[in-house]
Structure 1
């Protein structure tokens, strides 16, 4: 089951999801702890507003439209951000979003840099919007970030797609924190693991034999197999195991579900 399998924004369906879970169990459908936990977290989204999960104004990194490319690059490197709100004179006057990747064409042509030529249109949302509704809008408009405004039209903060996804998988990540473990066993043949776990430690813990030259972590192994950044819920096959990307933020693979696939020895690239 994937996050995309659930229809967000439909309050009537959300009300019935708990009942559906029980009916699925009664009908013989086996839900893993991971799947059930994810569905229950989705239900909670309708009771959470953008205000509850946004990055507040005091922690927001934005830049003036008059900034030089050196200033923009410095902010990206120092703050570790890939999308930056751009304002014109006044902080509350956000006129666009700058994506770090759009700077590439100016690497060797800095003198031609004009920030307003690569700005993307900002997407504004009110503080009180339920995040399940916002998730629908993110998916429909293919955007990952929105500017949050208060009742007076001032900037309150920003909210990213990653913030919502973390709400869905948050309880699972809390288990890692509480137990001090990088591995959670879901059932007899599947595990949820931290993307940064050392491959040798994983092999020892679950009896696998994953090994590639110069690869130390599960996340690194997935990058090696695909040759690119994976997508949320993407499935990768390696040896006789299925790897599902359960949570990713930017380039960081945070959670991976590993499930044994007895009849398969295929490696998907």
Structure 2
């Protein structure tokens, strides 16, 4: 005899992913990438997705058309380690640049023999007899045409955070990090250079140079270094040292470029959003070039 009051079947759990829900909202599908992005904006207006989600999805869509060459650090601006360099010189490079990983070359800069992790140098404290070569990790090489989606998948799969980018002739074109790729999705990632303003803007380094924020006022730089730093253009006025240096260079500064001004040597350490975030500053040596690239 059948049960007169059968139990109600449990409601099925909605296992649709977030992207599937968005896809159903925009059905029928758009005809182009720009149409899809416009539809995402409509989804935000209709409260289907939030503003942050819309921005991230738009970046994911645009990233599909990007390659390693679009986000890499060009070879002339790469901070690299010469395997033949003295340990003291190597340590000064690690301290002054504050990177966690360095391509290592032997002879020519195109001859990259491995990757050195800054943290691995700590092993030399316990075993001074170790050779730097013993600390090197294998270098990963990718072509300039490598899609960012594929590159991110490889970074996650092999747990590497840095890859050397090679051009069509097999020469080193630059390097790309997992941070460079992720920033195309989530925007700028705060790193070791992103110190809150309240924590200060001028820091002494172990090699007797200084790290100076690009937002530091020109007046404060003059006071800190007891010198007069001013524009060569008498009619120009700048509030920040970053703005002043950019004006003197005549273009948006890039990492590794440097300039002498007011008896000081400014080297661009870090840039974000088209502005210099940090300079390395030292007193001018008599034989220093006026300006150019610190990596040359």
Helix, strand or coil: the match of 2:109?
strand
In structure 2, runs of 5+ residues without a counterpart are: 1-17, 20-31, 189-193, 199-271, 273-296
Partner residue in 2 for 1:113: 130
Helix, strand or coil: the match of 2:180?
helix
Cα deviation for residue 46 of structure 1 reads 1.4
Contact 2:144 2:167 in 1 (8 A): yes
Partner residue in 2 for 1:47: 65
Residues 93 and 197 of structure 1: CA distance in aligned 2, closer, same or farther (over 3 Å): same
Q: Which of 1 and 2 has higher RCO (CA within 8 Å, sep 6+)?
A: 1
Give the RMSD, CA atoms, in angstroms: 3.2
1:154-193 equivalence runs, <5 A: 154-170=171-187
Distance 2:41 2:74 in 1: 38
Contact 2:44 2:50 in 1 (8 A): no
Partner residue in 2 for 1:135: 152
1:143-180 deviations in whole A, cap 9, x for unaligned?
1100001111111110011111222233xx5xxxxxxx
Contact 1:69 1:113 in 2 (8 A): no
Distance 1:25 1:92 in 2: 47
1:107-256 equivalence runs, <5 A: 107-110=125-128, 112-170=129-187, 196=196
Partner residue in 2 for 1:104: 122
Distance 1:92 1:195 in 2: 34
Helix, strand or coil: the match of 1:147?
strand
Q: Which has the larger Rg?
A: 2
* Paired residue total: 165
TM-score normalised to structure 1 length:
0.53
Distance 1:167 1:150 in 2: 22
Match of 1:34 among 52, 56, 67: 52
Helix, strand or coil: the match of 2:123?
helix
Helix, strand or coil: the match of 1:91?
coil
Matched, 1:66 2:64: no
